[in-house]
């Protein structure tokens, strides 16, 4: 993290003479809690914003575009694993489960498994409610026989499932290596929460990105077309709306690289020049080269992830990979607590 000594942090208080006049203040669309969370991240010694703010309506569409990029291997590699080993996975899982799709997005991955898994109920969960509602509407027309219950919520800090989610055998589906966006410690506590909600005979089907050549990893998060850069920079527009901030997107640039010691891709937004950012309740000066950390994407070995699953209360892991060992899909049983 590059932070210049000249960076200054200042919280604007109501009696501060430099406080903008009320008419100059921008309206924040986020709740007071969200504005406070964003402000705290921007004021931290190492500024950071949760990656969940990458996903407004446009962010979700940009992420879909990333998944089509030649450099971004996880989506197509995982799809190839499902295509080749889906029938084996379905045998391990069994038909008639309550399929809870975490971070469902356009629901396409789960939908491709419906014929094999034959779920009793499909429960897509996503933070972007509008995007989800549209996708589920289309899907219900294609699969009218499957009960569908869409949940628009942020599950990253744990969640309680409403009564509309059946109590039967629950299969949590968490593809796309999104688990990599948690630190390993956060991943263990998140997966423990799933284990506690899985019910008798419940389980988990999860996609995990594996450690590989650094050049392949770097290119996947800094593509030639600049789609990942747009995805990262779009967060600033989202923050402008949520926190009434005045980020000028043109003043920032995308940075992404593999941190080998931490076994993670790090994504940052870097100031192109010295500048001041204001938001509802605060402001901060950034020097040229200062960064805001926006995302980590942890990469695992097969064994290190199976060990992590065991720490989280899952056992009997079955692992399917591609021929290059770039990606793994893992099914594990919830161990009764």
Burial 303-315 (b: 16+ CB within 10 A, else e): eebbebbeebbbe
Applying the rule CB under 6 A, the residues between 261 and 300 that interact with ligand AVI are 295, 297
98 or 233, CB closer to ligand AVI?
Answer: 233
**By CB under 6 A, which span of 11-19, 144-152, 170-178, 271-279 interacts with ligand AVI?**
170-178
d(CA 252, CA 233): 7
The answer to whether residue 223 forms part of the interface with ligand AVI (CB under 6 A) is: no
Q: Which residue has the tokens 């076994």?
A: 263
Instruction: Write down the least CB distance from residue 204 to ligand AVI, Å.
Output: 16
Closest CA to 187 of 293, 304, 98, 105: 304
The answer to whether residue 180 forms part of the interface with ligand AVI (CB under 6 A) is: yes
Q: Which helix (H) or strand (E) holds 332?
A: strand 327-334
Instruction: Write down the least CB distance from residue 196 to ligand AVI, Å.
Output: 23
176 or 282, CB closer to ligand AVI?
Answer: 176
Instruction: Write down the least CB distance from residue 51 to ligand AVI, Å.
Output: 7
Interface with ligand AVI (CB under 6 A), residue from 60, 228, 280, 333 = 228
Closest CA to 254 of 223, 279, 284, 278: 223
- Structure tokens given for 69: 């990029």
Strand order in the sheet with 9-10: 9-10, 282-286, 275-279
Binding residues for ligand AVI, how many (CB under 6 A)?
11
The answer to whether residue 181 forms part of the interface with ligand AVI (CB under 6 A) is: yes
- Kindly tell me the sign of the dihedral angle through the C-alpha atoms of 68, 71, 75, 79: positive
Q: What x/- string results for residues 60 through 79 when contact with ligand AVI is judged by CB under 6 A?
A: ------x-------x-----
Binding site for ligand AVI (CB under 6 A): 66, 74, 176-178, 180-181, 221, 228, 295, 297
């Amino acid at each position: 993290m590059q932070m210049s000594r000249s960076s200054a942090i200042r919280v604007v208080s109501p009696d501060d003479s430099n406080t903008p006049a009320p008419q100059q203040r921008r309206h924040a669309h986020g709740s007071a809690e969200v504005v406070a969370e964003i402000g705290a991240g921007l004021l931290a010694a190492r500024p950071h914003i949760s990656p969940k703010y990458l996903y407004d309506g446009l962010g979700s569409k940009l992420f879909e575009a990333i998944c089509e990029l030649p450099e971004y291997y996880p989506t197509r590699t995982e799809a190839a694993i499902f295509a080749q080993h889906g029938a084996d996975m379905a045998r391990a899982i069994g038909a008639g489960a309550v399929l809870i799709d975490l971070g469902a997005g356009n629901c396409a991955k789960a939908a491709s498994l419906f014929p094999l898994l034959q779920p009793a109920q499909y429960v897509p969960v996503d933070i972007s409610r509008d995007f989800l509602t549209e996708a589920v509407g289309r899907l219900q027309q294609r699969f009218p026989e499957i009960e569908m219950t869409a949940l628009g919520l942020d599950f990253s800090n744990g969640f309680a499932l409403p009564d509309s989610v059946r109590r039967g055998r629950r299969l949590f589906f968490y593809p796309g290596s999104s688990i990599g966006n948690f630190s390993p410690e956060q991943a263990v506590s998140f997966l423990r929460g799933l284990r506690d909600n899985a019910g008798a005979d419940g389980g988990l089907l999860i996609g995990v990105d594996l450690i590989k050549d650094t050049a392949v990893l770097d290119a996947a998060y800094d593509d030639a077309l600049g789609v990942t850069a747009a995805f990262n920079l779009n967060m600033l527009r989202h923050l402008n709306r949520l926190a009434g901030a005045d980020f000028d997107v043109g003043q920032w640039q995308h940075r992404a690289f593999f941190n080998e010691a931490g076994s993670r891709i790090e994504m940052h937004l870097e100031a192109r020049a010295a500048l001041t950012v204001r938001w509802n309740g605060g402001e901060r000066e950034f020097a040229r080269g200062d960064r805001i950390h926006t995302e980590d994407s942890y990469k695992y070995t097969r064994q290190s992830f199976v060990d992590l699953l065991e720490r989280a209360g899952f056992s009997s892991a079955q692992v399917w990979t591609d021929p290059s060992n770039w990606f793994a899909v893992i099914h594990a049983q919830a161990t009764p607590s």
